[in-house]
Amino acid sequence: MKCTRCKAKAEVHLRAHNAGFCRPCYLGYFQRHVERAVDREKMFSKDDHILVAVSGGKDSLALWDVLVGLGYRTTGLYLGLGIGGYSDRSRETVEAFARNRELPLVVRTLADEGPGLAVPDVAASTRRVPCAACGAMKRHFFDAAAHEGSFDVLATGHNLDDEAARLLGNVLRWQRDHLARQRPVLQPSHPKFVRKVKPLYLLSEYETAVYAFMRGIEYVVEECPNAEGATQLVYKDALNRLEAASPGTKQAFVKEFLRNAQSLFADDAARGVPGECQQCGMPAYGAICSFCALVREVETKRARRAAAAAEHAGA
């Protein structure tokens, strides 16, 4: 196959777009795609300071790389989740990425934020599935870091496959409030929140993997060990089959939802303006935010267990 743009030998074939690209043209295509999404959805401008949440995986590092290449002002944010060797390796990968490119990076670690706050510990003490505990903590620390650092925008590396899987999950259960918030740009509902954006939302996992490979980005290939049982993967698998039978399905599913249906759910997002958490000061709908409620639960259960252990030792 020949490159659709310059007719040189194509290195990558995108079935969904019925196009092929050589390496330089592919990198240009990817960069333009991101730039157009940023402009079209008014995600941010060159004046904004963007906090890029990076996990060490290909999507978030590709996002950081492409934003730097486009001349945006960025800082990386890595949150250490405390998930064994996986977290150690992802932290090293992110730090090496930032160091080699002399990019600013903020690192925070859950275990350093309080006793028992690493994801596996929270999951065990509160009997939640790890991803539920992880999601709540990530949301809190991303919001808090963006606020504390006076950033204008928080960008994440969610790609088309993530968005299509999330959409499928939301549609299968008709979760109106989730559908209401499924957008590439989420405007802040409180002065302590910043705009949240997903510049890769229409680029597939395959496309970001090719970009990361061509740019020589070293990323963590292994998935988080907790992802294995995640329903998201079942949805991704189903969507991959549909995509193989009919290329372009994922793209149409997400794009047409945003174009034709998303606004129908907008009212479901109107939860009013949040107040402030009495504990941490971040926005909250109740007296304390869901993160502080989770921390309280961890503390109570840890204290209860410690008291039981002491009683057992004394008996």
Write out the residues near ligand Q46 by the rule CB under 6 A.
81, 119, 130-131, 134-135, 224, 226-227, 230
- Letter string b/e over residues 209-239, b meaning 16 or more CB atoms within 10 A of that residue's CB: bbbbebeebebbeeebebeeebebeebbeeb
Give whichever of 1 and 234 is closer to ligand Q46, judged by the CB atom.
234
Q: How many Å apart are CA 197 and CA 40, to the nearest integer?
A: 12
Give whichever of 3 and 81 is closer to ligand Q46, judged by the CB atom.
81
**Contact partner, 224, from Zn ion, ligand Q46, none, Cβ < 5-8 Å per class:** ligand Q46
Q: How many Å apart are CA 121 and CA 208, to the nearest integer?
A: 32
Q: Least distance in Å: CB of 91 to ligand Q46?
A: 13
Chain length of the chain: 315
**Contact partner, 155, from Zn ion, ligand Q46, none, Cβ < 5-8 Å per class:** none
Can you give the C-alpha Rg of the chain in angstroms? 21
**Contact partner, 126, from Zn ion, ligand Q46, none, Cβ < 5-8 Å per class:** none
Rounded to whole angstroms, what are the CA distances from 228 to 161, 202, 275?
16, 24, 37
Q: Least distance in Å: CB of 281 to ligand Q46?
A: 25
Give whichever of 22 and 122 is closer to ligand Q46, judged by the CB atom.
122
Q: Residue 83 carries which side chain, given as an amino acid letter?
A: I
Q: Least distance in Å: CB of 295 to Zn ion?
A: 8
**Contact partner, 184, from ligand Q46, Zn ion, none, Cβ < 5-8 Å per class:** none
Count the Cβ atoms, other than its own, within 10 Å of residue 177: 12
**Contact partner, 134, from Zn ion, ligand Q46, none, Cβ < 5-8 Å per class:** ligand Q46
**Contact partner, 131, from ligand Q46, Zn ion, none, Cβ < 5-8 Å per class:** ligand Q46
Give whichever of 4 and 159 is closer to ligand Q46, judged by the CB atom.
159
CB distance 207 to 14 below 8 Å: yes
Q: Least distance in Å: CB of 113 to ligand Q46?
A: 16
Q: Least distance in Å: CB of 222 to ligand Q46?
A: 11
Among left, alpha and beta (phi > 0; psi -120 to 50; other), residue 71 is left
Instruction: Name the percent of the chain in helix, strand, coil, to the closest 5.
Output: 55, 10, 30
CB distance 188 to 231 below 8 Å: no
Give whichever of 227 and 310 is closer to ligand Q46, judged by the CB atom.
227
Site for Zn ion in 248-307 (CB under 5 A): 277, 279-280, 289, 292
**Contact partner, 280, from Zn ion, ligand Q46, none, Cβ < 5-8 Å per class:** Zn ion
β partners of residue 13: 20
Give whichever of 3 and 134 is closer to ligand Q46, judged by the CB atom.
134
Interface positions with Zn ion (CB under 5 A): 277, 279-280, 289, 292
